[in-house]
Structure 1
């Protein structure tokens, strides 16, 4: 997408953007679900891997690395364990994608109307991306919390929630409406700079990769430039705000079910700053980046798939509506 006012027609109609965003979220989520489950398990693991004494009496699995975590989940919970929480996650990604791209498009168009008072394109992209991420995250947060709790629970007799409906009823009954928004402050605090950096970087790199992919020096498949720009933008942005993502996951599993997940020794955390301080005090800076490797493994392909699918879906919808005469 372009921040330039002269290219607004290429952004598509609101209907096209909503559909393309939803399709991009749906496909992206299914592809990266196993990495997402592995990331959540590693983020919730508090014992030190370098100190065997710290997990000598831990009840539950001890995960060591991305591949090892995936293998352990398959061995102990079956292949379906890698898609735990996929139903609320799919709902979240579809809604998130539709809201995110719609908000981004609308904000970009509003900023373009400032004429001579307009900010530079990277700044416009940062503002539009930050607002889009904040609105989409707050709107879909309960689904994000449910996704985390399903991914964190065990199988068989160790399951906490039997279904999506029962989980909603249980949280509402025992934790109230606020229970669905545990860690929301950390989520919004993370996603605003993340999406701002992501879209600013994406919009800057996209034309560069596009020119390379169309050159004779390094010809690439159609859409490869969008995917590459999305991947690089995601890695940069994710690394910068990762501690808040970890804090969000720790806060999401607080409440009466805290000691019932796969990791039974999750401490009680209260508030974003207190959680950051406690993690730093007990595990240092490395503790704030636990699960970063798998997060980058997940974020890079997820963003590449999302942006490639979005751009392709939007183009197909535009061509289809032009062909059938829809205005």
Structure 2
């Protein structure tokens, strides 16, 4: 078999496994992403004023309860269409980028090292951030809408409104691009670096159930770690892409500026708003994504070889 054919087969496997993993994770874990965004958009200043507001949230479970009560069960999937449309092909591209860039970070080693996985993860996350950012802008706009799910605007109408009013650039459908790249770059750097490095140092069990449990535990830990490391960029992204505190006045414009403003006005802990639902989502989400990717890859290889 020629090298070009081998490369095409590898890419096909990576696309199939990555796309399947992304679609599965989004459908299962999306409601927690919405809760995280709602908490991140809630500023300390407005919280003090609107503590009696039914859309003011005291925490994860209070947010879940009030959303169900005032917006209905369907509200937990507000804004899911953009992630579904982008995440299936996006995860495919991310895993292809990760696998194909590893060879550029070997630095003379015959096998991938933890540094290889980390830098390839950073490259994959950077590509992912660029791809998903327009969809994130639409998603955050939809998630910030607190009307009943049946009364909320459609994905397409929100997209058209953003483009019509602010264009395709960094003030419109691509606002918050730097923050999104930082969020995904740092997250994947940590997640891929940890997951694939630790797997290289652990024993492989003959018992499929024990082996599966080990993979899930490593992937879950990688998700928790990347959530804790990248959340300040996530908060900045939500503030930049979401509704501004005062209509018509852009308060959160740049990644660094947003982080500094949140820190100065609301304190250090505000940079970790939404951490609980983020960990609740990304921990098992990473387990689903990475383990599904691993097993689908093995399955496809067995069928194509």
1:280 counterpart residue number: 263
- Tell me by how many angstroms 1:26 deviates: 0.3
Please list the CA deviations of residues 235-282 of structure 1 after superposition, one character each: whole Å capped at 9, or x if unmatched.
112211211111001101257xx768xxxxx97212122211111111
Question: Which of 139, 146, 160 is the equivalent residue of 1:147?
Answer: 139
2:27 counterpart residue number: 30
Q: Is the contact between residue 153 and residue 159 of structure 1 (CA under 8 Å) also seen in structure 2?
A: no
- 2-side partners of 1:225 and 1:132: how far apart? 24
- Tell me by how many angstroms 1:60 deviates: 5.5
Q: How does 1:306-317 map to 2 (within 5 A)?
A: 306-317=289-300
- Tell me by how many angstroms 1:158 deviates: 10
1:239 counterpart residue number: 228
Please list the CA deviations of residues 151-193 of structure 1 after superposition, one character each: whole Å capped at 9, or x if unmatched.
1112249966x22222221111101012111111111123222
- 2-side partners of 1:90 and 1:157: how far apart? 18
1:168 counterpart residue number: 159
- Report whether the alignment pairs 1:133 with 2:125: yes
Higher mean C-alpha deviation, range 127-136 or range 166-175: 166-175
> For 2:173, what is the secondary structure of its paired residue?
helix
Question: Which of 40, 45, 48 is the equivalent residue of 1:43?
Answer: 40
- Tell me by how many angstroms 1:121 deviates: 0.2
Cα distance, 1:39–1:210 mapped onto 2, change above 3 Å: farther
Q: Is the contact between residue 210 and residue 225 of structure 1 (CA under 8 Å) also seen in structure 2?
A: no
- 2-side partners of 1:207 and 1:79: how far apart? 42
Structure 2 residue ranges without an equivalent (≥5): 1-5
- Report whether the alignment pairs 1:253 with 2:242: yes
Cα distance, 1:125–1:63 mapped onto 2, change above 3 Å: same
Please list the CA deviations of residues 183-241 of structure 1 after superposition, one character each: whole Å capped at 9, or x if unmatched.
11111123222211211111122245553x547xxx84453222221111121122112
Please list the CA deviations of residues 83-113 of structure 1 after superposition, one character each: whole Å capped at 9, or x if unmatched.
111111112221221111000011013445x
Q: Is the contact between residue 220 and residue 283 of structure 2 (CA under 8 Å) also seen in structure 1?
A: yes
- 2-side partners of 1:46 and 1:288: how far apart? 11
Question: Which of 3, 6, 14 is the equivalent residue of 1:17?
Answer: 14
Could you say what the CA RMSD is over the residues aligned between the two structures, in angstroms? 2.9
| TM-score (norm: length of structure 1) | 0.82
Q: Is the contact between residue 100 and residue 135 of structure 1 (CA under 8 Å) also seen in structure 2?
A: yes
Q: Is the contact between residue 16 and residue 92 of structure 2 (CA under 8 Å) also seen in structure 1?
A: yes
Question: Which of 23, 38, 63 is the equivalent residue of 1:69?
Answer: 63
- 1-side partners of 2:84 and 2:21: how far apart? 11
> For 1:180, what is the secondary structure of its paired residue?
coil
2:3 counterpart residue number: none
- Tell me by how many angstroms 1:48 deviates: 6.6
- 1-side partners of 2:112 and 2:125: how far apart? 20
| TM-score (norm: length of structure 2) | 0.87
Cα distance, 1:119–1:209 mapped onto 2, change above 3 Å: closer
- Report whether the alignment pairs 1:226 with 2:218: no
Q: Is the contact between residue 25 and residue 93 of structure 1 (CA under 8 Å) also seen in structure 2?
A: yes
2:277 counterpart residue number: 294
